[in-house]
Amino acid sequence: MPPASAKPCSTNSRCSHVTANDRRCRLGALRNGSHLCFRHSSLMAAASQPPPNDSEDLSSELLPGLSKFNSAININQFLARLLALVTQGRISPRRASVLGYITNQLLQSHPRHRP
Q: What tens-digit pLDDT sequence spans the chain (115 residues)? A: 444 444 444 556 899 989 889 999 999 988 877 788 988 888 877 777 676 777 788 888 888 877 677 778 888 888 999 999 988 888 888 999 999 999 888 888 877 754 5
pLDDT at 38: 85
Please give the model's pTM, rounded to 2 decimal places.
0.52
Distance of CA 68 to the CA centre of its chain: 29
DSSP element (H, E) containing 91 = none
